[in-house]
Structure 1
């Protein structure tokens, strides 16, 4: 059935006709798949998140029916909490079919639904644009660099309905800055007097000038946020899957820039706290990695600076490929890119990778650190034949550190305070389990059945309280849709997904 375009879909088509008309037919062809992809992600949220206006869930032989406050009923296919391929083409609200997520949310009439519906509409249109401009299907990628692998991740977050929501970005800006469109981005530089900056780590001489710190800035930030600043030309760089983090075209440290726009769920600025703690956290992490027999490398934060503003800051980070032996044919892939890596489609490969990831990350948690090991932060070093050898972790800005666990294992407690520090077992486990298990490993598996096979590897790992928690309870995941529909509630909110080892 032909569906009329939504307002955002229409708007993107109109802009595209002006800036890249050659993509118009591909964009139109991609809309159907993008609608199903976003609707599938929304159905996962409706099936599992503790949304207050869902009063009951009735599984049946042919699907799931939700009872809604007010008496309505919403029906759909059996939900797969770990599916990454679109399998939902329509949902029935009191018997009426809905094939576009935004129109369904508007029909539900839930609090804050209008704002969320607009984001879903934009996410669908941007996802179609991303698919239209993405690399050709089947293109040989065997010898690609790490940043080129990152640019092949077209669909964004594997489970968030706002997987491609980029409010504030025009079509021209998405084409110019988004990694899936494979642009080269010209970063700018803002000169700030050194006494007005906070600098941690080793800020390079190449980014200093006559008593000033040269802060790399993203061109979107320069145009929309730093309008009063004098931004000079900087250097060319390739955007990575995080969009605001880039690999300089001439090599060297990756640059994480402030981007005061809401991408997916979060505004991507850089807090002053992150800059203050960057050097200490990086030094601590290097010491921790030495306890892991070479199975985990943590990229070093080389330098960080802020003009005491989250809108004007930057972090220089060691590129992950320094931990691969190129002469031996090794390469590094972010876990989010494994869907495009042919060996990862085999059950044996997924089991081997799951064993590596689970054993390393659970050991790190036991020692006292919960990594946010989702598919963007966690990378895997592959052998020349494609076997998973060891892990690389990047971006330490949102880990959690337990002083009590560190002390128990004779490890030094870093001189830190604030949100990174907690001994709360629930917080620590949610941080790791919700990113690694119900994020990275689930998305790599791509379905509940494949995830169950890979997750079974946890039973063979050494005994620990954290392993036992995985074997006996449901699995936490961020309630991403609930969070978008609860703008007045700070912090993360959580849902529980079925544990394939317990059935609950």
Structure 2
């Protein structure tokens, strides 16, 4: 069985190579060269999960004096590798299972036999192959990133910095990835379907340009047109009607004419979630936009909110369908004007690909390619840059939390506006924060009420007064992912430098707390932010077969504790 799984892993990479040889033979050599680095990148993410997530049948031994950590299976086998902190970036060329080197993450997970990991083994194989394709394409000289909001979005090649399924895209062929995925910098022409308005759920003012008499014209991703609409018995009203640039999330696109961003359904698992749009999200989107905008206006240093302007879900087979939904979001230039705007996302270290331009080395022998919106190259003084960003992010996040809204403040949801004239070295500092993608926030009805704010009519899943839930949502994303990945990127493995930057974050947090009105909620938030451990998402655990729906969580050491 194990040999069969290993063979299937090689088959995924071979199938990618065979299709690439047909549709883009000029990328074949770069894809082959990128595979070892992609395996190491996903293996590094997997090792983090093995070390810190409460996975069934595995226990972890503390690092020994040689800097090694060991994971032990229930039947006594051992996986050894270098000790890592939970926010460390960088890949692992090999881990050692009972003394035998494992260089492929899917091979290692299959060998461990973690209960419920069968599909996840396949997802890791797909993640490796897709990541190699992404890196190969991004390194092509013709795909240099233009200094525009869209260009910065599309420069994030490696995806989530800690998720082993960072580039998992099952059901999306090589040709389709090249045609639709943002790191390949395509123009995607959205289709329209015509549906009776009376059969639709509509929130907000649906634009007249997307109507035809008594029918709504819903934007549909062309992948959805090919793979989903036929099963629903539907054909597009118009094909290729809205040419647009795909943004980081793949299914949200910026029309070339500068109109509202369009969030479409793309009904397959990418990273780990199926990318449809539930009717609940359609009901919630405008109300959440209005609420967060109101909350932000009450704060000094509140975030700009990229508001949803309208949403619509059509009916299929007698019920509102998550496969036939779309939302229209305020475009970035409307919020920030002509300034430089980039997402705080995707910092990573990767090995060079043959023929690519590189920038100075990070983390030993690794080299940073243009795979992230925020890179070490653009930040000359990490302490100055991080202090500016931390003041924005913590004032916004902690202020919104005090009012009753816990943001999912990871790098894809946070945009920063850069003032190019500021900074000791003339490299520009973050001066404004933009928050987008509202569907995963959590609202505290009790906190909102204490601040004289009415709870909007939103889905029950968004509501919780449990401080553990609220703190996990904000601190897990902001501290565990956003600050952790930035500090790891900036410090190149220097633990003393990391401690100094975590002290910068702690100082900004105390400054933000001191600016808030005193009270039990703020005191509880302050205590939670500096306690010995914080909760972050258990990214692998949530993907095991039989895992409960929704997020899974784990505790990690809190780098802000005792600073």
TM over 0.5: yes
Query: Is the aligned partner of 1:105 residue 2:114?
Result: no
Greater shift after overlay, 381-390 or 447-456? 447-456
Query: Residues 72-471 of structure 1: matches in 2 within 5 Å?
Result: 72-86=77-91, 88-135=92-139, 144-227=147-230, 228-231=233-236, 232-233=238-239, 234-293=241-300, 295-307=302-314, 308-326=320-338, 330-336=339-345, 337-339=373-375, 342-343=378-379, 346-385=382-421, 386-446=428-488, 449=495, 450=498, 452-457=502-507, 458-463=509-514, 464=522, 465-471=524-530
Q: CA deviation at 1:408?
A: 1.4
Check whether the contact 2:163–2:540 (CA below 8 A) recurs between aligned residues: yes
CA distance in 2, matches of 1:111, 1:426: 28
Check whether the contact 1:85–1:446 (CA below 8 A) recurs between aligned residues: no
SS in 2 for 1:31: helix
CA deviations 1:351-378 (Å, max 9, x no partner) are: 2212221121011101100111111111
- Residue 95 to residue 31, structure 1, CA distance change in 2 (3 Å): same
CA distance in 2, matches of 1:462, 1:491: 30
Q: CA deviation at 1:340?
A: 6.4
CA distance in 1, matches of 2:434, 2:110: 42
Measured on the aligned residues, the alpha-carbon RMSD in Å equals: 2.1
- Residue 345 to residue 256, structure 1, CA distance change in 2 (3 Å): farther
Check whether the contact 1:58–1:66 (CA below 8 A) recurs between aligned residues: no
CA distance in 2, matches of 1:278, 1:285: 11
- Residue 277 to residue 364, structure 1, CA distance change in 2 (3 Å): same
CA deviations 1:285-335 (Å, max 9, x no partner) are: 221121123541101111100011000000000012322242xxx221111
CA distance in 2, matches of 1:344, 1:267: 39
SS in 1 for 2:72: strand
Check whether the contact 2:280–2:459 (CA below 8 A) recurs between aligned residues: no
CA distance in 1, matches of 2:471, 2:561: 18
CA deviations 1:395-445 (Å, max 9, x no partner) are: 111211111111212223223341111111111111111111111221222
SS in 2 for 1:355: helix
Number of the residue aligned with 2:517: none
CA distance in 2, matches of 1:184, 1:340: 29
- Residue 138 to residue 210, structure 1, CA distance change in 2 (3 Å): closer
How many residues were matched structurally? 497
Number of the residue aligned with 1:487: 546
Instruction: Provide structure 1 residue ranges, at least 5 long, that are not aligned to the other structure.
Output: none
Greater shift after overlay, 395-404 or 443-452? 443-452
- Residue 140 to residue 193, structure 1, CA distance change in 2 (3 Å): closer
CA distance in 1, matches of 2:307, 2:435: 10
TM-score by length of 2: 0.85
- Residue 119 to residue 285, structure 1, CA distance change in 2 (3 Å): same
Check whether the contact 1:324–1:332 (CA below 8 A) recurs between aligned residues: yes
Q: CA deviation at 1:98?
A: 0.4
